[in-house]
Structure 1
Amino acid sequence: MDNSVNSTLNGAMNSAIEEMARRLTSVHGVRAVALGGSRARGTHGPDSDWDVGVYYRGGVDVAAMAALAREMTGEPVEVAGPGGWGPWVDGGAWLSVDGVAVDWILRDLDRVEHVWSECREGRYETGVQAGHPLGFWSPAYAGEVALCRVLADPHGELRVLRSEAQRYPEPLRAALVHAAWEAEFSVAAARKSARSADTLHVSLCLSRAFGVLAQSLHAHHRVWCLNEKGALATAAAFPGVPGDFTARVSAALAGLDAAAVDSADGLVREVRSLMV
């Protein structure tokens, strides 16, 4: 597809998404709507989904959202209400608008504000969540707001929060850098399992170690980490990180034996020393 056609399609989708956001704010409970993901950050490809964050308070009219989704897609759309997709990714819907994937992702604005308050005090949580194999890290809520493009915010609440989240909280930075201790702990656990060739446990331990390390590196450089996707590549590009960081991580996850664990141990210790 040539650039002019692609630009026309993106322009049409931008208009459709903005209209969608305006209409979503008329749904009972919805307070603001934002564009997130790669589309908001300008790192998207031509086939990237459009991630639309739907921020609500005190519940949301799921039936009204489903009716709006049907009107905009021309077909029935199942909308998962709060909690329908798990404890952290509240719910939402997968839409196809003129053949383009659009994801509605619910966010409880009261909870997002609470998490932001905790982040400023250096406190965070991690929880089990489908689609997040290394767990959902609560600061992602604040990161989503910081990196989003506000589409509709009749009461100005999301814009205030977004403005505040532009400054990475130093207490959170310290807490997440300190969290890298778990990377060493996970490697030690993998070492025991490598002796018995328990590759499942070794793979989970090493994945956890590298995931925690990536979170710590992001925080050390005051960069929001939203999820595991792309986190390794971003971490590898930070100043001071060994040039062979990605290759060493990949080799360890492919090996899953005693030698791989030794390599992982060396890499974790080397990178942790950069954050002292």
Structure 2
Amino acid sequence: MAAGLVQVAGVEAVALGGSRARGTHRPGSDWDLGVYYRGSLDVAALTALASRTQGSPVEVAGPGGWGPWVNGGAWLTVDGVAVDWILRDLDRVESVWSHCRAGRYEVGIQPGHPLGFWSPCYAGEVALCRVLRDPGGSLTALREAARTYPEPLRRALTGAVWEADFSVAAARKAAPAGDTLYVALCLSKAFGVLAQALHAHHRRWCLNEKGALAAAAALPDTPSGFADRVAEALRALDPAAVETAAGVVREVRAVLEAG
């Protein structure tokens, strides 16, 4: 597939991503191929290739078709196996990497990412991928650079832990009224921020919400019972749950402040 993809006009490189690239996959895990392009992408040619590969018509979402950050791609089934093609604008990925090195990031609204799309995900994807085809060498060079976690980004993400406190404070006001949706959103945001901060503290890339809780819980110095206490708070969504969340935030902040 990768060999065919780099023949499509605009495609610069193809990488294996997700759990299969990291060796954490299960038997039924999808195969994720990052399709890195520059400039104008020949979506018609990409659609034709996808349909030939699957053996039946495939709908390909062009740049922007799946939102501003996930961008676009296609879901294929090949010999009964799920294979996802995920578009990435290489110019934008390189720009985000430059921002990461300067300690800048953003969190954008993106379908499929309920806690927002954290821009460093682009760099993390590259750092953790397996490059399959890269005729020009750009993705390979970026991968080597991104394997060193930028200290300015580490400081920015750990410093943003204040938002977890802010979100818990907002939940504390709403919980007595039984506003479960708002409390759930606030606490989820708080725990998402903590997961990002803990990963950054240990110079690890946190790609998205999937698996982030378990991954954060497994990191050194993470407070005892972290995952269980988060799960308990998100089940209860009452004033006591908010105080549980507040305690988790305090303990994580203590870890981060200890250096």
- The normalised TM-score by structure 2 is 0.98
Instruction: Quote the Cα distance in structure 2 between the aligned partners of 1:242 and 1:191.
Output: 22
Matched, 1:211 2:192: yes
In 1: Cα distance, 2:51 partner to 2:176 partner: 55
Matched, 1:198 2:173: no
Taking only aligned residues, the RMSD between alpha carbons, in angstroms, comes to 0.5
Deviates most, 53-62 or 236-245: 236-245
- In 1: Cα distance, 2:86 partner to 2:8 partner: 15
Shift of 1:175: 0.1
1:161 pairs, out of 124, 142, 158, with 142
Q: How does 1:1-276 map to 2 (within 5 A)?
A: 20-276=1-257
- TM-superposed deviation, 1:93: 0.2
Write the letter of the residue equivalent to 1:175: A
Q: TM-score, normalised by structure 1?
A: 0.92
Once residues 146 and 197 of structure 1 are traced to their aligned partners in structure 2, the CA distance between those partners, rounded to angstroms, is: 43
**C-alpha contact 2:198 2:222 (8 A) present in aligned 1:** no
Give the aligned length.
257
Where structure 2 has 5 or more consecutive residues not aligned to the other structure, the ranges are: none
CA displacement at 1:195 relative to structure 2:
1.7
Q: Runs (4+) of structure 1 moved beyond 3 Å? A: none
CA contact (8 A) 2:127 2:144 kept: yes
CA distance in 1, matches of 2:164, 2:44: 44
Residues 186, 206 of structure 1: 8 Å contact kept? yes
